[in-house]
Chains A and B, each alone.
Chain A
Amino acid sequence: MAMRRVLSLILSVLSTVTLLWTQSGECNNGRRSGDAGDTDLSGFSVPLEHSFEVDDVPRFRLRGALQLKGGKENGVYLSQNQLSEKDRITLKDVAAADGLYRVRVPRVSLQVDRQTERPSEGYLTTFVRACALVESHLSDVITLHTDVSGYIIGISIVTIPGSCRGIEVEDEVDLEVFNTTISVVAPVTAPAPETAPFIERMEQEMEKKGKNPQEQKSFFAKYWYLILGGAVFLMATSSAQAPPGGAQQS
């Protein structure tokens, strides 16, 4: 019971967070059910590139294609290739040398009409430790962050789990397909001071006070019987004890 109450409390307070999560959750579903036929015509595709080299000098190759869908709800689908035999060996070597696995996307806008306005220039890059990627069996979470106008401003990649413990990985089974969760996150609107609910609450309290005549009564009106009773009691006790009291004093 207590647990549930806490949960509800968190949920009610964390409205911003839940909003964020529902959005990305939608994208997850989209990806899973997504195949070629499902892609919208209004969307467009940008390459997702990755690089992992033993000498740690980035040489980006195509990893997959991101299908971005403009409009209000920013949907995103990722179709990606399997890792080749050679790539798998390289990746394991890089992981052994504690190298980096880098990904990058070109700077684009999700708004399709803006595409023509401003050609994409430069890339947004990020990285994850190659060993973490290997140990997580290529299960990663890629998030694209946009600004208010829909430009992609940053990309982030994490693996789950994210640690490097030095666990041996069988390459054939685990390093073939990426198990990627991809989402697009737009900035949340920060809350403004909430004056309306506060005033409403104040009014409600005032109303409650008004409705309840008990509240409006004065202190004496409310507790006259107690005071009277107390007074009577005091009087009775003092009058009863007066003779012995006098005796003590003398």
Chain B
Amino acid sequence: MAWLVVRLAISMSLLYTASAVFEDQVGKFDWRQQFIGKVRFALFDTHSQASKKLLLATDKNVFASLNSRTGDLFWRHVDKTGPEGHIDALLMYGQDAVVVVGNGRLLRSWETTVGGLKWETVLDTGSFQAAALVGVQDFVKYVAVLKKSAISLHDLSSGSEIWVENLPDSDSVQYQTIYSGGNGLVLVLGVVPNSHIVIVEYKIEDGEIMNKKSVEAAWMSSLESSCAVVSSGILLCVDQITQSLYTLPLQSAEQTEMRQIHLQTLDLEVVSGFRPVLTSTQPNPAQPPLSEFFLQLSPDHHILLQFKDGLIAPLRDFNPAYLAAFATSGERTVAAVMSPKNDTACSINLFSADTGRRHLDTTIIYHMDPNGGKPNRLYVHAFLKKDDSVGYRVMVQTEDLALTFLQQPGRVVWMREEALADVVTMEMVDLPFTGTQAELEGEFGKKADGLLPMVLKRLSSQFILLQAWLAHLWKLFYDARKPRSSVKNEVTIDVLSRDEFNLQKMMLMVTASGKLFGIDSKSGTILWKQYLENIQPNSVFKLIVQRTTAHFPHPPQCTLLIKNKDTGLGSLYVFNPIFGKKSQISVPALPRPILQTLLLPVIDQDYAKVLLLIDDQYKVTAFPSTKNVLQQLQDTASSIFFYLVDSSQGKLSGFRLRKDLSTELIWEVVIPTEVQKIVAVKGKRANEHVHSQGRVMGDRSVLYKYLNPNLLAVITESTDTHQERSFVGIILIDGVTGRIVHEAVQRKARGPVHFVHSENWVVYVYWNSKFRRNEFSVLELFEGAELYNSTVFSSLDRPHPPQVLQQSYIFPAPINTLEATLTEKGITSRHLLVGLPSGNILSLPKLFLDPRRPEMVSEQSREENLIPYAPEMPIREEWFINYNQTVSRVRGIYTAPSGLESTCLVVAYGLDIYQSRVFPSKQFDVLKDDYDYILISSVLFGLFFATMISKRLAEVKLLNRAWR
């Protein structure tokens, strides 16, 4: 019987926590965007004329195929992160794409139409140098992979290894390139820096060394960066010190040294400090490369040269020109060159490669985004038109990782913002009111000027409201007649306004490349973007909302703190989060490294919250630092505390602000680094509301929560990583007094630890190294049956330590990230959002993570709705909020409250971005989508008329009776 009760209790509890999406709700309030990252290799499928495929390999270890007409993904393969999944090379021939992965660990061939794996070969160990397709008699049959000490040849259709040969003298010679001109030989080129070049010829059939020679080249340090093969096997190198080009026929027996051609003889000069670049093209791997090549002499100077009969002749000089690239269609090879047109636009022109003559009517105008970066890569897709002339499209990659696909005469076909593949931090900001709403709001802000004008003003604003309402009604009526699909109106920055329930917000996203985005949360449309130049690649960002949209007419204000990780030096970027415009407010200079930032609830006369920045000399800079603010800071200085964490020394220290904006050390906790190191410190979210002070227990008494807003959760990991002795420590410290509230040690555990700190609880996930599984642990803090001081919480006056309850559970899946839902008033029950490596976002009811879950079911625990303790945490498919919209490599989850208490907005980001809403306690404050309005109104009207009729009847009856 008890068992039945247990099961009943579980099923009952599940009944009201189940939160799946119905089929017809798919895509209604959620969206996903998929990204690939910074492009390293891009190849157009030139196999057939009608092909729309574009193959890309990126620095995020993604190999993908894009539809070149729309920019959508055909398919995408996400490999392991880090060097293990690094894509070293991408080669394409016909329908096959050959990829070398993981520093030459794997050789894979993909079928490009559907993205299926054709074959995979594990290569011998050794660091990867180069890979090339090898052809025999106009037919590409093999792929050669060059490693540090060996070369191997593989069959292109099956991947089987034809032969593998060790390279001679591989410990002294750095072999760097492979060349094959389709004549039955594979040439491997190596260099001994500042000494000589080594050329080894292998026979394709059996890998026999046919020839080996070395050529003096004392000036050369690297083959890869300064050489190219042109024409029929001529090695061409450039050296900026001697200002010369060097040529060497690779297979000639008589010439034993490189021939020097001074650039001066060609009237050319390399700009000092610039490393010249040679670009050649080999349209068909089974044939020798073309004799034309590009030489880049300075960042904006290219020249097209031709090698003919041992001589180099310039074909065309492109000065200025940012980028140049070759492309081949059929038998014709063209060169596309991007030159600056004016400050905001570039023009791209097509030239025939063999003569350098310009093709007529081939100009593409590329408009540079004033808020974006400069173009840095050009990929050209050439094709033959019906009249046999060459047409082309280009893909431009800019510094801010935007991919733009253009066609003549400059139409942007599509655009992808690949910076969004690496979101670092984000915030959500409420949208502003509409003009009419703002008008009404503004009325209260103004000074009163007489009774009559006030009345008139009120009347006029009410009239405007009425007008707006009528317009809205008309629009509703108008839209209702149209089919649903066509009512999709475009979101632009001008029509942006807050909706009834504040469900639509502005998502501010900061990416690692230093590009900021403002995205509409409802549709995922990018409303504005801003590229911050000169961002160091190792910068850390902190986004702070200083003023929300609530203070009309002051515009909302966000501040981004950009900090260099190495030097600690920071800078502030202040902007309007709705329009993305940089604010004109003067920003304090930050000459010293910043240790900590603190957003105070103190506001200045313009309603901006005060941001305190603490530098390494413990001096405080306030922003904004008006007189008003400084006065307020002086008044409240003695109650402003902050903490610093120095994880290298294991030191946590607390400071108090003095009236002169200096600080004093008031507490210090030192955790010896020999035993354990601090891995993370987290406080609570400032915008979190707790509705209920306590929990009602089974006997109607109340267990009060310990709600300390200053509490910090410190997570440590042991330095000893032995599976029996390793541990994870959790220390709860009061951030004001430095008092250790609770200290616990999870034995036989190690990181990575993910944790959430909210209300009166901390949930953390660790790896149990003994049982080799992930475990959840929950800590809850209670004051007990009585509150010490129920009116106000002060860290300085709370002498009794809280009661701490803790319970742990097994979680049957690894975890990427953890976050808790957040709602407007905190009435709705909480859920934990767990990002799984599979890409699913699990919405786990906090009900399951309750340390008061009883071992044995009793009358009281049932009364309290406690689920009996079960050591394993369930994972139910219907708890996945993103059904099949998996988020690759989810790195963070952001939650924000909406205007509806039941609804919490969720954004999960990683390689992809997914936005949705969750309803932890179901939609208790919203009518269902399929609510039957017709039925309820017909019942109402029916009742109304029934009363009317029966009243009439009753009257008649009364009258009749009176007559009787």
**Contact yes or no, B745 A188, CB < 8 A:** yes
Q: B682 within 8 Å of A by Cβ?
A: no
Is B697's CB within 8 Å of the partner chain A? yes
Q: Tell whether A124 is near chain B: CB-to-CB under 8 Å.
A: yes
Selecting from B79-87, B323-331, B581-589, B664-672, the interface stretch reads B664-672
Would you call B808 and A190 a contact (CB within 8 A)? yes
Interface of A: prevailing SS: mixed
Interface size class of A (residues with CB under 8 A): 35 or more
Nearest neighbor of B745 in chain A, beta-carbon distance: A187
Interface: B445 (CB within 8 A): no
- Of chain A, the residue at the smallest CB distance from B775 is A193
Residues of B with C-beta under 8 A to A5: 699, 860
- Closest chain A residue to B853, Cβ basis: A13
Using A125-B667, A161-B799 as known contacts, say yes or no to A185 and B743 having CB atoms under 8 A apart. Answer: yes
Provide the bound-state CA to CA distance between A56 and B362, in Å: 78
Beta-carbon contacts under 8 Å, A95-112 to B: 98, 100, 102, 107
Q: Distance in Å from the Cβ of B192 to the closest Cβ of chain A?
A: 52
Contact residues, A167-208 vs B (CB, 8 A)? 185-195, 197-198, 201, 205
A147 to B729, Cβ gap below 8 A?
yes
| Residues in chain A near residue B3, CB distance under 8 A | 205, 209
Instruction: Pick out which of these stretches binds chain A: B166-174, B732-740, B926-934.
Output: B732-740
Q: Is the pair B799, A156 in contact by a Cβ cutoff of 8 Å?
A: no
Task: Determine if B804 and A198 form an interchain contact, defined as CB atoms under 8 angstroms apart.
Answer: no
Inter-chain contact B869/A156, CB cutoff 8 Å: no
Report B669-708 CB contacts with A as 1/0, cut-off 8 Å. 1111001100000000000000000000101010000000
- Contact between B730 and A205, CB atoms less than 8 A apart: no
User: Does A28 touch B at the CB level, under 8 Å?
Assistant: no
How many Å lie between the Cα of A18 and that of B242 in the bound state?
Answer: 82
Surface stretch bound by B, among A69-77, A126-134, A239-247: A126-134
Choose among B666, B675, B748, B789 the residue that contacts A100 (Cβ–Cβ < 8 A).
Answer: B666
**Chain A proximity of B284: nearest CB distance (Å):** 63
| Interface size bracket, B side | 35 or more
Inter-chain contact A197/B855, CB cutoff 8 Å? yes
- Per-residue interface assignment for chain B, residues 835 to 873, with 1 indicating a CB less than 8 Å from any chain A CB and 0 otherwise: 000000000000000011011100010000000011110
Q: Is B747 an interface residue (CB 8 A)?
A: yes
Is B675 in contact with A163, judged by CB distance below 8 angstroms?
Answer: no
Query: Closest Cβ of chain B: how far from A104's Cβ, in Å?
Result: 8
- A15 to nearest B CB, angstroms? 9
Q: Is A67 an interface residue (CB 8 A)?
A: no
- Bound Cα distance from A16 to B806, whole angstroms: 8
Instruction: Let me know if B777 is at the binding interface, CB within 8 A.
Output: yes
- A145 near B808 (CB under 8 angstroms)? no
Pairwise interchain contact B810-A148, C-beta atoms closer than 8 A: no
Question: B2's closest neighbor in chain A, by CB?
Answer: A205
B805 to A14, Cβ gap below 8 A? yes
A101 to chain B minimum Cβ distance, whole angstroms, is: 11
Please encode chain B, from 726 to 758, with 1 for each CB lying within 8 Å of some chain A CB and 0 for all others: 010111010001111011111110000000000
A126 to chain B, nearest CB (A): 5
Does A54 sit within 8 A of B, measured CB to CB?
no
Q: Does B490 contact A (CB under 8 A)?
A: no
Q: In the complex the two chains form, is B670's CB within 8 Å of A153's CB?
A: yes
CB distance from A229 to the nearest CB of B (A): 24
Contact of B805 with A16 in the complex, beta carbons under 8 Å? yes
Give Cα A6–Cα B810 distance, bound, in whole angstroms: 29
Known: A16-B804, A192-B808. A6 touches B697 (CB 8 A): yes
What's the Cα separation between A44 and B206 when bound, in Å? Answer: 80
Q: Is B947 part of the binding interface, using a Cβ–Cβ cutoff of 8 Å? A: no
Tell me which residues across on chain B come within 8 A of A10, comparing CB atoms. Answer: 803
Contact B664 A56, beta carbon cutoff 8 Å? yes
Residues in B751-791 with C-beta less than 8 Å from chain A: 768, 775, 777, 779, 785, 789
Contact call B805/A192, Cβ cutoff below 8 A: no
Q: Is A124 a contact of B739 with CB atoms below 8 Å? A: no
A205 to B7, CA, bound (A): 13
- Which residues on A sit within 8 Å (CB–CB) of B775? 192-193
Query: In whole angstroms, what is the CA distance A171 to B606 when docked?
Result: 49
List residues of B (621-672) whose CB comes within 8 Å of A's CBs.
Answer: 638, 664-672
Can you sample 22 A-B contacts with CB below 8 Å? A5-B860, A13-B851, A14-B803, A16-B805, A17-B804, A56-B664, A107-B670, A125-B667, A126-B738, A128-B737, A151-B675, A153-B740, A162-B796, A163-B789, A187-B743, A187-B744, A188-B742, A189-B745, A190-B806, A192-B775, A194-B869, A205-B3
Q: B residues touching A (Cβ–Cβ < 8 Å)?
A: 2-3, 638, 664-672, 675-676, 697, 699, 701, 727, 729-731, 733, 737-740, 742-748, 768, 775, 777, 779, 785, 789, 796-799, 803-810, 851-852, 854-856, 860, 869-872
Known: A153-B669, A153-B740, A156-B739. 8 other contacts (CB 8 A): A132-B796, A154-B733, A162-B796, A162-B799, A164-B797, A190-B806, A193-B810, A209-B3
